[in-house]
């Protein structure tokens, strides 16, 4: 039976098991338990340089992990892995050796010769390192035959041989090392192994959360991609599934031997991927510790340029031929170039804090926000965060005196000032054990708000009639902004003093000792829009969200200062958006200037529009589409003989996190491009288009230019209609 049919068979068997189990009721952490002191593990490999071994052991000690895992295959008896294993003889912790045949020998594993080579390898491994305490994990990412080149038939053969040898040598056995969330593979394999009386002592499954981008959301790849909420397979529920599987086959423990976020993958969406990964590490391991189904959870490679907690100083254009989750061959580079990442520090502090403590409870049943309580011998501590770009008002959940008495730390263990909000950057709150706090109400996020965490803080307006968020560097700045921009005092000026006053009023206000800000307030909304947008955020909140979406993807936008909304406002007009004012030149200014001159403020048309093409392409490549990219909504700012671009009027911004290639999002891209270039002649258009398309390894076609012509006709006819209507009126 080929592997596709085997998978279908396993899936049918698993679904029958799943719908007759109680798994569907296991979404949240719901029991108190002690987190194992040796909860965290790391995958290690060295290289030909002896000093790398010492560096690895120093970092293991610094990290404080008690679980190590090494991939080992036929060619490793005479290299750095064998050397490293011998040095682990006195390691005070748990050691796992993952064994699998190398790629070049994988296809022969079903032959008599291949099996003999495999058996000799396993026996040699157990004999040569018999003085070392370790357990054996058989196979690696066995549900990815394109990575391992091993079919199910081949896996059962190598498992049977290794199982028998390990049992004779009294070695504990782990497996079957399925990667990602594909429990039907685990179920089908365990059922087959059960019939052969060859079940492992411990169940292993790589609990990757990278495919959901961040740790918390429901996984869209489980069943129906567009409706992941149908089955609610988040990290908690996935963990519960494996607990049920282990219980079904009477396996005593579950281990996740590898998980990571690739810097390259995060970098597709973020400008600071390492800082984002440090957030994910804390959130991921805290959730697994709180759920309590896995007795050990490992990070991936210790040293690696993409996934490692330690960067090797290399920037390789291509990933290793074999996926490192399948086989981690070596720590590349030289010790002199290694540097510890923020992810290392985040995992180090987690490992100092959570393992060995007792999980008490989860306060939230909302997947967008987590507040989890743990208890050590002397302290009670909470770990709180939201999903990416959400925010919550911490004073809605804690009494102010509880916040005043808490010791607050960031994800690296640094002391921080009293937090004013809960966002996607985890915070630790510590109290003496006898001062255990109680929450005022169940946690919830600020409705409809999207934020990008910055060095500044977010302050919430606590007012009888208004709600809102202000972004400021400290409490004094917040009070200053509120003094001059409290919504009760914000009255739109007369039309001649306003930058714009039609559907929206836009004006500038000078805040002493702070600077100028731009204030925007909706003045009218069409009746049909009021009906269609009744479940959407109001216009000011959409502008705030659009700006933060751009900033979260590393795209310059006018700095948001505040958003205010009147409570119980049926008109949807009583709201304000405030952003920082900067002197700049709109593309309307450029269009007028380039009609008479080819140089603007010392910069050529080519310089300006090629850099603009790079700016717009970066925005599009990160899944952001402006949807209203007229010449008045992009500013050119000149500072220190350089220029850059900044976007304003961001209320229509659309954000995508998947399918970001040019072909998939071509329609959205061109919608922005044709609007941006409408007021420019074909010389400028050709400069922009040629460079923009070259960035995507393409050339502008006749049909591309035809879209600009069609939009020109549409705009000109619209202007003509307005003139005719004006004369008739």
Q: According to the 3-state scheme, what is the secondary structure of 154-215?
A: HHHHHHHHHHHHHHHCCCCEEEEEEECCCHHHHHHHHHHHHHCCCCCCEEEEECCCHHHCCC
d(CA 517, CA 481): 10
Yes or no: say if 346 and 31 are a contact pair by the CB < 8 Å rule.
no
Say yes or no to pLDDT of 450 above 90: yes
- What's the pLDDT score for residue 345? 97
| Radius of gyration for the chain, computed over Cα atoms and rounded to the nearest angstrom | 29
Yes or no: say if 487 and 480 are a contact pair by the CB < 8 Å rule.
no
SS3 assignment, position 120: helix
- Write the CA distances from 318 to 21, 147, 309, 338, 661, integer angstroms: 44, 16, 19, 19, 19
Q: What is the mean pLDDT of the chain?
A: 91
Return the structure tokens found at 472.
């400021």
Say yes or no to pLDDT of 496 above 80: no
**Which residue did the predictor score with more confidence, 503 or 695?**
695
d(CA 189, CA 152): 9
Long-range Cβ pairs for the range 314-323 (8 Å, 24+): 322/103, 322/147, 323/141, 323/144, 323/147
User: Beta partners for 409?
Assistant: 415, 428
Task: Look at the chain and count its residues.
Answer: 729
Yes or no: say if 545 and 456 are a contact pair by the CB < 8 Å rule.
no
Phi-psi region of 522 (alpha: psi -120 to 50; beta: other; left: phi over 0): beta
CB atoms within 10 A of CB 684: 19
Confidence label for 395 from pLDDT (cuts 50, 70 and 90): very high
Q: How far is CA 256 from the centre of its chain?
A: 20
Q: How far is CA 620 from the centre of its chain?
A: 18
pLDDT for 258-291, tens place per residue? 999 999 888 888 888 999 999 999 999 999 999 9
Say yes or no to pLDDT of 664 above 90: no
CB atoms within 10 A of CB 534: 9
SS3 assignment, position 558: coil
**Which residue did the predictor score with more confidence, 221 or 476?**
476
Say yes or no to pLDDT of 616 above 90: yes
142-172 b/e with 16+ CB inside 10 Å = b? Answer: bbbeebbbbbbebbbbbbebbbebbeeeebb
- What's the pLDDT score for residue 409? 97
Yes or no: say if 225 and 217 are a contact pair by the CB < 8 Å rule.
no
Reference 471, options 446, 443, 444; nearest CA is: 446
Return the structure tokens found at 365.
């049943």
518-531 b/e with 16+ CB inside 10 Å = b? Answer: bbbbbeebeeeeee
d(CA 605, CA 584): 17
d(CA 429, CA 383): 6
- Residue in the structure block whose two tokens are 């808490």: 406
Task: Return the domain boundaries, the chain.
Answer: 3-355, 359-435, 457-580, 602-633+657-728
Say yes or no to pLDDT of 196 above 90: yes
d(CA 253, CA 250): 9
- What's the pLDDT score for residue 350? 98
Reported in sequence order, the residue ranges of 230-269 that DSSP labels E, i.e. its strands, are 253-256
Per DSSP bridges, beta strands 67-72 and 40-43 are: parallel
Say yes or no to pLDDT of 391 above 90: yes
Phi-psi region of 181 (alpha: psi -120 to 50; beta: other; left: phi over 0): beta
Over range 389-393, report the average pLDDT: 95
Q: Which are the contacts of 84, defined by CB distance < 8 A and separation ≥ 6?
A: 44, 45, 46, 53, 56, 70
Confidence label for 319 from pLDDT (cuts 50, 70 and 90): low
Residue 5 class from Cβ within 10 Å (0-12 exposed, 13-18 middle, 19+ buried)?
exposed
User: Beta partners for 599?
Assistant: 604
Reference 134, options 182, 77, 90; nearest CA is: 90
Is the fold of 3-355 the same as that of 457-580?
A: no
Say yes or no to pLDDT of 1 above 70: no
Say yes or no to pLDDT of 312 above 90: yes
DSSP code for 489: G
- Phi, psi (5° rounding) for residue 716? -65, -40
Q: How far is CA 155 from the centre of its chain?
A: 33
pLDDT for 27-50, tens place per residue? 778 889 999 999 999 999 999 999
- What's the pLDDT score for residue 389? 93
Indicate the CATH number of 359-435 among 2.60.40, 3.90.1150, 2.40.240, 2.60.120: 2.60.40
Helix (H) or strand (E) holding 276: helix 273-291
The helix-helix angle for 702-728 and 682-694 (nearest 10°) equals: 140
Return the structure tokens found at 488.
């009760």
- Residue in the structure block whose two tokens are 């991921």: 284
Confidence label for 24 from pLDDT (cuts 50, 70 and 90): low
Reference 621, options 682, 549, 695; nearest CA is: 695
**Which residue did the predictor score with more confidence, 660 or 174?**
174
Yes or no: say if 577 and 507 are a contact pair by the CB < 8 Å rule.
no
pLDDT for 116-138, tens place per residue? 999 999 999 999 999 999 999 99
pLDDT for 216-237, tens place per residue? 988 888 776 666 667 788 999 9
Candidate from 12-26, 91-105, 323-337, 599-613 with smallest mean pLDDT: 12-26
What dotted CATH number matches 457-580? 3.30.200
DSSP code for 329: -
Return the structure tokens found at 362.
């989860």
Confidence label for 720 from pLDDT (cuts 50, 70 and 90): confident
- What's the pLDDT score for residue 30? 81
For the residues of 365-431, what is the DSSP string, one character each? --TTEEEEEEE-SSEEEEEEEESTT--B-GGGTS-HHHHHH-EEE-TTS-B-PPPS-B-SS-EEEEE
d(CA 283, CA 431): 21
CB atoms within 10 A of CB 687: 20
Over range 521-549, report the average pLDDT: 88
Over range 84-96, report the average pLDDT: 94
Say yes or no to pLDDT of 60 above 80: yes
d(CA 268, CA 270): 6
d(CA 100, CA 438): 50
Say yes or no to pLDDT of 538 above 70: yes
- What's the pLDDT score for residue 501? 60
Q: Is the dihedral angle over the CA atoms 625, 630, 632, 636 positive or is it negative?
A: positive
Indicate the CATH number of 3-355 among 3.30.9.10, 3.40.50.800, 3.55.40.20, 3.20.20.80: 3.20.20.80
User: Beta partners for 296?
Assistant: 255
Reported in sequence order, the residue ranges of 92-134 that DSSP labels E, i.e. its strands, are 94-99
CB atoms within 10 A of CB 232: 14
Candidate from 51-65, 476-490, 619-633, 709-723 with smallest mean pLDDT: 709-723
Residue 378 class from Cβ within 10 Å (0-12 exposed, 13-18 middle, 19+ buried)?
exposed
Reference 331, options 101, 67, 527, 83; nearest CA is: 83
Yes or no: say if 539 and 609 are a contact pair by the CB < 8 Å rule.
no
Over range 658-672, report the average pLDDT: 84
Q: Is the dihedral angle over the CA atoms 715, 716, 717, 722 positive or is it negative?
A: positive
């Amino acid at each position: 039976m080929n592997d596709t049919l085997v998978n279908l068979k396993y899936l049918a068997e698993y679904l029958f098991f799943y719908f007759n189990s109680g798994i569907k009721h296991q979404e949240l952490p719901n029991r108190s338990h002690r987190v194992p002191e040796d909860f965290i593990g790391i995958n290690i490999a060295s290289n030909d340089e002896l000093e790398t071994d010492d560096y690895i052991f120093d970092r293991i000690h610094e990290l404080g992990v008690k679980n190590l895992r090494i991939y080992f295959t036929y060619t490793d008896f005479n290299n750095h892995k064998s050397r490293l294993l011998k040095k682990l003889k006195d390691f005070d912790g748990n050691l796992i050796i993952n064994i699998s045949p190398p790629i070049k020998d994988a296809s022969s594993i079903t032959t008599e010769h291949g099996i003999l080579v495999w058996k000799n390898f396993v026996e040699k491994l157990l004999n040569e390192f018999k003085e070392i305490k370790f357990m054996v994990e058989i196979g690696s990412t066995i549900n990815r035959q394109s990575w391992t080149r091993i079919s199910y038939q081949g896996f059962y053969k190598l498992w049977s041989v290794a199982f028998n040898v390990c049992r004779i040598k009294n070695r504990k056995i782990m497996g079957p090392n399925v990667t990602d969330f594909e429990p039907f593979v685990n179920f089908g394999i365990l059922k087959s192994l059960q019939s052969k009386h060859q079940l492992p002592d411990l169940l292993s499954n790589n609990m990757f959360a990278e495919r959901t981008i961040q740790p918390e959301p429901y996984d869209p790849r489980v069943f129906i991609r567009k409706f992941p909420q149908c089955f609610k397979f988040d990290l908690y529920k996935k963990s519960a599934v494996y607990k049920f599987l282990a219980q079904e086959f009477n396996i005593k423990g579950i281990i996740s031997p590898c998980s990571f976020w690739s810097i390259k993958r995060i970098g597709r969406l973020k400008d600071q991927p390492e800082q984002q990964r440090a957030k994910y590490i804390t959130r991921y391991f805290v959730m697994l510790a709180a759920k309590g189904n896995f007795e050990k959870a490992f990070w991936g490679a210790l040293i690696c340029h993409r996934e490692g907690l330690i960067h090797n100083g290399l920037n390789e254009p291509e990933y290793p031929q074999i996926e490192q989750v399948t086989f981690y061959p070596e720590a590349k580079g030289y010790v002199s170039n290694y540097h510890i990442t923020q992810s290392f520090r985040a995992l180090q502090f987690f490992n100092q804090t959570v393992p060995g403590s007792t999980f008490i409870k989860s306060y939230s049943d909302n997947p967008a926000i987590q507040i989890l309580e743990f208890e050590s011998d002397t302290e009670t501590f909470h770990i709180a965060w939201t999903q990416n770009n959400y925010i919550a008002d911490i004073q809605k959940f804690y009494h102010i005196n509880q916040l005043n008495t808490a010791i607050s730390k960031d994800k690296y263990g640094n002391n921080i000032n009293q937090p004013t909000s809960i966002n996607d950057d985890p915070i630790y709150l510590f109290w003496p054990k006898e001062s255990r706090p109680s929450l005022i109400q169940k946690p919830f996020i600020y409705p409809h708000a999207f934020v990008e965490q910055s060095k500044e803080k977010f302050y919430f307006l606590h007012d009888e009639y208004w709600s809102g968020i202000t972004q400021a560097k400290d409490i004094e700045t917040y009070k200053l902004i509120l003094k001059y921009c409290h919504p009760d005092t914000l009255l739109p000026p007369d039309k001649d003093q306003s930058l714009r006053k039609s559907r929206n009023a836009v004006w500038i206000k000078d805040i002493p000792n702070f600077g100028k800000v731009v204030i925007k307030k909706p003045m009218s909304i069409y009746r049909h829009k009021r009906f269609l947008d009744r479940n959407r955020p109001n216009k000011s909140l959409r502008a705030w969200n659009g700006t933060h979406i751009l900033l979260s993807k590393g795209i310059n936008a006018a700095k948001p200062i505040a958003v205010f909304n009147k409570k119980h406002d049926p008109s949807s007009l009583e709201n304000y958006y405030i952003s920082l004012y900067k002197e700049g030149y709109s593309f309307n200014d450029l269009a007028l200037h380039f009609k008479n001159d080819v140089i603007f403020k010392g910069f050529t048309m080519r310089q300006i529009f090629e850099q603009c093409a790079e700016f717009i392409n970066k925005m599009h490549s990160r899944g952001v589409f402006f949807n209203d990219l007229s010449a008045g909504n992009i500013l050119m700012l000149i500072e220190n003989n350089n220029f850059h671009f900044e976007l304003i009027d961001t209320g229509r911004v659309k954000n995508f996190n998947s399918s970001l290639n040019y072909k998939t999002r071509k329609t959205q891209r061109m919608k922005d491009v044709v609007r941006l270039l409408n007021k420019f002649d074909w010389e400028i258009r050709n400069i922009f288009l040629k460079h923009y398309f070259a960035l995507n390894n393409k050339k502008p076609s006749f049909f591309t230019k035809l879209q600009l012509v069609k939009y020109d006709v549409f705009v000109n006819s619209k202007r003509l209609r307005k003139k005719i209507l004006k004369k008739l009126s």
